[in-house]
Amino acid sequence: MFFDSHTHLNNESYSEAERGALAAAIEASDVSYVVDVGFDLESSMIAARHAAKYPWCYAAAGFHPHNAKDMDEESLIMIKGIAKKEKVVAIGEIGLDYYRNLSDRQSQKDCFRRQIGIALELEMPIIIHDRDANDDVLCILKEEGVFSKQRTSLFPGAESGEPDARLLLHCFSGSSELARQYLKLGATISIAGPVTYKNARRLEDVVRVVPIERMLIETDAPYLTPEPFRGKPNSSPLVKYTAGKVAEIKGISLEETARITCENAMRFFNIQ
Ligand code: NI
């Protein structure tokens, strides 16, 4: 039983037939749940539709920083409407991307802050996309009150009693020092396929630093295919290869890794 905490069945490159085939492959696999994560208005609507259709599918709604320039008042209201639907479990993926800069930085920041506002108002988990923007992402999260007492008191921490800000760093690519900072603030870290790559020493260090109880696993399919399938399209059943690498680094079994990260995800997304 694996929980793929971040996938894109809603990816615009898929035909309906391809989506059906991907869904069938998930049903035939040992993946128990996925979160289909929105990146603009259309993809958020599709994700919510998938969540309504498939018992194993949940959705997140939001504008990716790439698409920040397309977000207006009307689409913001619609994202909020989608977020209130049943089985829509998070606002995301939202954040900043200074690597590709497909939207100008000011609209990325505005879009990010407005959507954090929705998550705070609806008391929902947040899924973060951060690429080459570590400082600004952390600064905005702090300024907007994501780590405030008011928010963390909504989410009673795990057995550890540590604060829980219901904040997920998707496809974490920062340093182990940054991971430590986020853990202290009550964030959860999601590990994706790149941990299986040959040059992943930094990410392996992150996996060592993050307690397994504060970790989720994901594919970000169709992107970031894990080894040994790198170069081919990614899909949720391949999440087990990322789990396998995490298990190896942590020195625990694959089954244990699968079970604990699945429990973590169910708690994080408030799935019964
Ligand atoms: Ni993504």
Question: What string of pLDDT tens digits covers the 272 residues of the chain?
Answer: 999 999 999 999 999 999 999 999 999 999 999 999 999 999 999 999 999 999 999 999 999 999 999 999 999 999 999 999 999 999 999 999 999 989 999 999 999 999 999 999 999 999 999 999 999 999 999 999 999 999 999 997 655 678 999 999 999 999 999 999 999 999 999 999 999 999 899 999 999 999 999 999 999 999 999 999 999 999 999 999 999 999 999 999 999 999 999 999 999 999 98
Please tell me the distance between residue 89's alpha carbon and the centre of ligand 1 in angstroms. 15
Total of domains in the chain: 1
Please tell me the distance between residue 44's alpha carbon and the centre of ligand 1 in angstroms. 12
Please tell me the distance between residue 35's alpha carbon and the centre of ligand 1 in angstroms. 10
Spell out which residues have Cβ within 5 A of ligand 1, the ion: 220
pLDDT of residue 187: 97
Instruction: Read off the CATH number of the domain in which 56 is found.
Output: 3.20.20.140
Please tell me the distance between residue 8's alpha carbon and the centre of ligand 1 in angstroms. 7
**What residue has token string 């392996």?**
204
User: What is the spatial distance between Cα 140 and Cα 61, in angstroms, rounded to a whole number?
Assistant: 19
Residue 245, domain extent: 2-268
